[in-house]
Amino acid sequence: MKVVILAGGKGTRLAEETSTRPKPMVEIGGKPILWHIMNVYASHGFQDFIVACGYRGELIKEYFSSLLVHGNDYLINLKDGAREVVSNGCPEWRVWLIDTGVETMTGGRIRRLRKWVGDETFMVTYGDGLSDIDIARLLAFHKRHGRIATITAVRPPSRFGALTIDDSQCVRNFSEKPQTGEGWINGGFFVFEPAVFEHFKDDETVLERAPLEALSKADQLMAYVHEGFWQPMDTLRDRQLLEGMWASGTAPWKSWP
């Protein structure tokens, strides 16, 4: 099953990092967040990726091209340039790198990928969010309900630390940037049937607007509720938070060896 990763946006809210590279190439622990997202899926057995490139997409293409060189040991014949891999250190992924346009909207990007997706169930996520979501359970939920689309519902992280204060104004608990206890939002991690393509009209189609609204009204949109960890990388502070988790060895999304 193919996994589409929307990696074409400009990431303007993270301008400190994205002025020269696309947001999915911003690094956490020395690896692009895109690499982390792909590992989340691969750890559940999904290793066929379509990366929807756009802004500075050539850097994403260069990264995966260089993995073949830097991730493997190989013998090279300097006479004719022939190369033989002698030790493979790269993951067993198939990665389609498709230019979907610099200004194309999210739904438009998916629409441009139709011939590569084919006529089968497929998954979609954003190139800037991490979670400890169980992808296999998400897919089973989608199959069980038989709708055109499934969205993952998450609770948004709070912008501020939470305090528990007793009557004497002593802080009894401090939690830095916890998830809020109210409301659900779109956390990405979609599953779609091919019929969803009928809702993507052109490059200007925004997935999160008309398509999902229409599917909801038609009773064709299910919500897989994820109570666990979810964190987008929208700001420099978000990146620093994720970097700190990785550096401390407590990254909740790391489900691979």
Here the CATH number for the domain that contains residue 174 is 3.90.550.10
What integer pLDDT is reported at residue 159 of this predicted model? 65
What integer pLDDT is reported at residue 157 of this predicted model? 79
Tell whether 36 is covered by a domain.
Answer: yes
pLDDT at 177 over 60: no
Tell whether 22 is covered by a domain.
Answer: yes
For residue 11, the one-letter residue type is: G
Pick 219 or 12 by higher pLDDT.
Answer: 219
Give the mean model confidence (pLDDT) for residues 82-96.
88
According to DSSP, residue 30 is labeled T
Give the span between the Cα atoms of 48 and 14, in whole angstroms. 28
What integer pLDDT is reported at residue 178 of this predicted model? 59
According to DSSP, residue 179 is labeled B
Inter-residue contact 100 to 8 (CB < 8 Å): yes
pLDDT above 70 covers a percentage of the chain that reads 92
pLDDT at 166 over 70: no
According to DSSP, residue 23 is labeled G
What integer pLDDT is reported at residue 156 of this predicted model? 84
Give the mean model confidence (pLDDT) for residues 172-194.
77
Residue 109: both structure tokens together: 């990007």
pLDDT at 188 over 80: yes
pLDDT at 179 over 90: no
Q: Mark 177-199 as b/e (b = at least 16 C-beta within 10 Å).
A: eebeeeeeebbbbbbbbeebbeb
Tell whether 7 is covered by a domain.
Answer: yes
Instruction: State pLDDT tens for residues 90-106.
Output: 889 999 999 999 999 99
Q: Which domain holds residue 93?
A: 2-248
- How many residues in the chain? 257
The number of distinct structural domains making up the chain is 1
What integer pLDDT is reported at residue 118 of this predicted model? 95
pLDDT at 87 over 90: no
pLDDT at 22 over 90: yes
Tell whether 256 is covered by a domain.
Answer: no
What integer pLDDT is reported at residue 69 of this predicted model? 78
pLDDT above 90 covers a percentage of the chain that reads 73
Give the mean model confidence (pLDDT) for residues 148-165.
79
Tell whether 148 is covered by a domain.
Answer: yes
Model confidence at 116, pLDDT cuts 50, 70, 90, reads very high
Tell whether 255 is covered by a domain.
Answer: no
Inter-residue contact 64 to 19 (CB < 8 Å): no
Tell whether 225 is covered by a domain.
Answer: yes
What integer pLDDT is reported at residue 161 of this predicted model? 59
Average pLDDT, the chain: 91
Helices (H), 15-134: 15-18, 33-42, 57-70, 106-112, 114-117
Model confidence at 220, pLDDT cuts 50, 70, 90, reads very high
Q: Three-class SS string for 185-224?
A: EECCCEEECHHHHHHCCCCCCCCCCHHHHHHHHCCCEEEE
Only one residue has tokens 């498709």, namely: 98
Beta bridge partners of 221: 149
pTM here is 0.89
Tell whether 165 is covered by a domain.
Answer: yes
For residue 235, the one-letter residue type is: T
What integer pLDDT is reported at residue 17 of this predicted model? 82
Give the span between the Cα atoms of 223 and 212, in whole angstroms. 11
Helices (H), 71-224: 106-112, 114-117, 135-145, 210-217
